Amino acid sequence: MQGKPVGRRCCKTGAIEHAQIWENPPHTIDLGTLGGPNSAIFQYNHGGVGRFVGWSETAHTDPYDENFCGFGTTHTCLGFVWQRGKMRALPLLGGNNDNANDENWRGQIVGASETNTKDSNCVAPRVFDFVGVIWQPNGKITTLPAYSGDTVSYAYTITQSGQFAVGQSGTCASAANHAVLWENGSLPINLGTLGGNVNVALDVNDLGQVIGNSNLSGNSVTHAFLWQKGTLKDLGTLPGDEDSFAGGINDEGQIVGESCDASGNCRGFLWQNGAITDLNAFIPPSKDVNVLFGANINDWGQIVGATVNAQSVEQAILLTPYFGPRVKTREISSVKKTLPESLRVQIQNPRSKFWDLRKLQDSPIVHRAGG
């Protein structure tokens, strides 16, 4: 799978946030909004060159005040397609809100859209059920049904062929009961669980390998997983950590994400060939940064993610495979850093991982002998 560095810009706490794309660092493009104050873009954007999808507040007030975009305002929320400087809203399925998360080269866009079904089981501020959708290039909407017995669904990513899409299914009160895979828009496959009740499928490659997050028994710990050919594998954590969260997978089966200790201090990881590696192992000592998480990885092995420096300044990073002479890297034991409480909360929310790409750094991934 191929992707493009994307994020959102936030000037300060509580400030207006806009979706942005990174182009020729450190230059970024502000994608603007659909008339409201805020917009955002998810880490998965696999569409054609110069096309991006996300969600934006509009100028209209949501009559039910559902905060569907998640910015804490009263504006309605719509998915968008951005191309050549213009942002276009995606059509609704009957409700007042929707959002878009990913697009493939065929122009198929996945996300979720509200229906007009009021559900008394919804937890405030939610009022209506919602369902995963594919916005087709011809303007039609394909719904991605919920798993048997569930009432809502939500889609995160779609493969380039359009064969596979992944997401979650549940009830309006508990929307992530099941991690699911849709094949050609059919009834979803329940990918199983690592023992808990919260399960989300986040990304899928063209081979049908799926990654996501699942709570362990007791629902106090979350681990990243890999599902393939009907088997769910726990990816575990880095040594000394408790939780892990998936970021992205490429067609080589390489997976990136984050691993966190019990206090919420997190480190990015690379999982390949059955082994998990701290991304900070690839950072030269001269770089005053700690990699917090790996957000996505393309088929060339390039990883985008986020870092924090000694001054607790957050920056995006691009890690590129390097096969030249070996460069000394730091010791694993020296990289973990205690993070500010606000940052620990932010990086454990899968839809809050958007970073100011104007400060993006470029660093090689140093391939160690045998790695």
Mean residue pLDDT across the chain: 86
Most confident of 155-164, 280-289, 347-356: 155-164
Please give, one letter per residue, the 3-state secondary structure of the chain: CCCCCEEEEECCCCCCEEEEEECCCCCEEEEECEEEEEEECCCCCCCCCCEEEEEEEEEEECCCCCCCCCCCCCEEEEEEEEECCEEEECCCCCCCCEEEEEECCCCCEEEEEEEEEECCCCCCCCCEEEEEEEECCCCCEEEECCCCCCCEEEEEEECCCCCEEEEEEECCCCCCCEEEEEECCCCCEECCCCEEEEEEEEEECCCCCEEEEEEECCCCCEEEEEEECCEEEECCCCCCCCEEEEEEECCCCCEEEEEECCCCCEEEEEEECCEEEEHHHHCCCCCCCEEEEEEEECCCCCEEEEEECCCCCEEEEEEEEECCCCCCCCCHHHCCCCCCHHHHHHHCCCCCCCCCHHHCEEEEEECCCCC
pTM flag (> 0.95): no
pLDDT tens for each residue of 296-354: 999 999 999 999 888 888 888 889 987 666 545 455 444 455 555 544 444 444 444 43
pLDDT tens for each residue of 239-285: 999 999 999 999 999 999 999 999 999 999 999 999 999 999 998 88
Give the model's confidence band at 25: pLDDT under 50 very low, under 70 low, under 90 confident, else very high. low
**pLDDT at residue 22 tops 90:** no
Query: Which whole-number Å values give the CA distances from 85 to 64, 225, 234, 258, 326, in the listed order?
Result: 31, 37, 42, 33, 42
**pLDDT at residue 85 tops 70:** yes
**pLDDT at residue 127 tops 80:** yes
